[in-house]
Amino acid sequence: MARVIALTLAEVAEIVDGTLRLDGTTATADTLVDGTVTTDSREIVPGGVFVAKPGEFDDGHRFAPSAVELGAALLIVEHPLELAAPQVVVADSVAALGALASEVVSRVRAHGALRIVGVTGSNGKTTTKNLLRTVLERVGPTVAARASFNNEVGAPITMLELTDETRFLVAEMGASGVGEIARLVRLARPDIGIVLKVGLAHAGEFGGIEQTVRAKSEMVTDLLETDVAVLNADDSRVVPMADLTAARVVWFGLGDAADVRASDLVVHARGTEFTVTVPGGESARVRFGVLGEHHVMNALAAIAASVELGVPLASVVDALEHVTLAERWRMQVMGGRDDVTIINDAYNASPDSMSAALKTLAQVKRPGSRTIAVLGEMSELGEFSGEEHDRIGLLAVRLGISQLVVVGQGARRLHISAINEGSWDGESAFVESADEAFDLVVSSVRPGDTVLVKSSNSAGLRHLGDRLGEWFS
């Protein structure tokens, strides 16, 4: 939930280009509101602001009476409601939410030393956002999104959490189409824009990889000469973005050309160790407790932005070394009984993150033990879906994964490709449901095994991962 900088009802109406209605209330145009802002009526607290947003399956206006009962001080609505509460009637409640957030950001910038970091990419946004929050909150009051609040609703709600004391805002910016990141950038006006990676995640929604590249590049195209673009030097789709921005570019990656680079990587079951070097030649050894070599790139992006914000490298490294989990359901290590390790990475999945998770599983295998990959569908891939599921099936075989359990019809091609590639005899099993997968894993796991659970959010396997983690705890 977000707390508005104190505004009068008249100011809110003007900011969102709405009409103020006070019928049946004791409020006046000069009444101040500074309560939390939400589109979820269940989150309303006394003095809060409820934004009634029409949705795909329901309409937030239906829940306005509940918001009033809980003490909402203001309703932002798209049509007047017969309720005894101040209302601002607007043409588009989501646009109004964005306008309100933009005004609050501007006011906080005018009053203090606010610095804003925007983060986008096909993978790693939430992890990088969380790492940055961990580093920056040691320096000063920091606001960053809850969970994956990164769309046209979640990002403004995060911005509305700013206060006059806030030093840093870390704004995660996602999109499902061209123009959406540009709108979020215009709301927040980042001082630093990070582009992590451009892959096939949500490519079906974007309409192809070229459109995905175009959308992600919106993070840096409007940056000013005084701003900084933090770009992935190892991603061939990100590198050309340097020509699209007026900002100074800081590169991160594993190669010598990167300004912020990692070397001497060592991957083990407790995380990844690497040496980071930053502009000026300063370096430090990082013992990073987040599992998976691919998360090193997220750490490098966070280091690059933090150093640009003036945080000493030693402080950045110390903060990162205290992080053991990027986010729930993201390479979350569970289990332990009978030396069985469960890695729950089923919050989301794309071809890139699925490949990275499988490679990590192979890397952390202990001598004499087995690896089991429980995999579900990678959603929103559009025309690429079939070939990408095929590719993951082949990769599982080539990495020597001991047992593959494929869950759900949406991922069945992965199972078939693994069988065709490896001519396996039961090493790949297909089941229809998470319950069947649970029974199969529990009945076949051996002491010392490492089990990865990975799928897109829509496949629901994150709960299977939790269940296996509890079973083997």
- Residue 151 is assigned to a ligand binding site: no
Q: How far is CA 77 from CA 60, 64, 319, 448, 467, in A?
A: 9, 9, 42, 56, 41
Asked whether residue 125 is marked as a ligand-binding residue, the answer is yes
CA distance 342 to 323: 19
Spatial distance between the Cα atoms of 346 and 244, rounded to a whole number of angstroms: 34
126 is annotated as contributing to ligand binding: yes
The SS3 call for residue 276 is: strand
Q: Are 432 and 409 spatial neighbours (Cβ–Cβ below 8 Å)?
A: yes
CB within 8 Å of 311: residues ≥ 6 apart: 135, 136, 139
| Residue 226 annotated as part of some ligand binding site | no
134 labelled binding-site residue: no
129 assigned binding-site residue: no
Alpha helices in 147-255 (DSSP H): 154-159, 180-188, 203-206, 209-221
Contact 154, 145 (CB under 8 A): yes
Measured distance CA(350)–CA(177) in Å, rounded: 17
DSSP H stretches of helix in 38-79: 64-69
* Orientation angle between helical segments 125-136 and 295-308, nearest 10 degrees: 40
Place of tokens 């939400």: 38
DSSP state of 54: B
Question: In this structure, what token pair is assigned to residue 400?
Answer: 């020597």
Q: Which residues contact 310 (CB under 8 A, 6 or more apart)?
A: none
Is 127 annotated as belonging to a binding site?
yes
* Cα angle for residues 194, 200, 204 (degrees, 5° grid): 120
d(C-alpha 2, C-alpha 34), whole Å: 10
Annotated binding site for ATP: 121-127
Annotated binding site: 121-127
